[in-house]
Amino acid sequence: MVEFAEAFGIKHTVRGRDGRKYSFYPRSGPCVKCAKKTDIETHHVTYVPEWTVALCGKCHGNITSVNTHVSRVTEKKLSNELRIFLWRWFMTDKYFKEHRRFSRGRARKLVVEFLRVSNGGGQVTDAKVR
């Protein structure tokens, strides 16, 4: 999982001897999605272990919208596997260049796609997705 994460700019944070958390990815770095250098925020791809990335405010809002919609569709807290699946989709898909907002319908499609992939390509019914 670490190799996959590093390929998409996800860096692991560590706790220093002083007890503070340190990230290998600088908070002031450019946005890993669009390369914008201003309005940089830290996004948690996962919380345990804590993996963070630098995103501009717009990209951070977009991925947060994706995570929120998918969480509402599944009615569950997002697993690390699902979070990384969504991150990978977010980094490679051009959805936000063509659409202004992320829809609940698109969230359902992503969840079904994730379930298919995690199910080894098996059939997934809509009964698992609200």
Asked whether residue 96 is domain-assigned, the answer is: yes
Asked whether residue 126 is domain-assigned, the answer is: no
Domain boundaries, position 6: 2-119
Asked whether residue 130 is domain-assigned, the answer is: no
From residue 94, give the alpha-carbon distance in Å to each of 37, 59, 62, 91, 97: 20, 12, 12, 8, 5
Asked whether residue 124 is domain-assigned, the answer is: no
Asked whether residue 128 is domain-assigned, the answer is: no
| DSSP state at residue 78 | P
Asked whether residue 74 is domain-assigned, the answer is: yes
Per-residue pLDDT in tens (0 to 9) along the chain, 130 residues: 455 555 555 555 555 566 666 555 545 578 889 989 888 888 988 887 778 888 999 999 999 999 999 999 999 899 989 999 999 899 888 888 888 788 889 999 999 999 888 876 555 454 455 5
Sorted by sequence, the CB contacts under 8 Å of residue 104 that are 6+ apart come out as 69, 72, 73
Asked whether residue 22 is domain-assigned, the answer is: yes
Question: What distance lies between CA 66 and its chain's CA centroid?
Answer: 8
| DSSP state at residue 130 | -
Asked whether residue 94 is domain-assigned, the answer is: yes
User: Looking at the 3D structure of the chain, how many domains does it have?
Assistant: 1
The pTM of the full predicted model, rounded to 2 decimals, is: 0.73
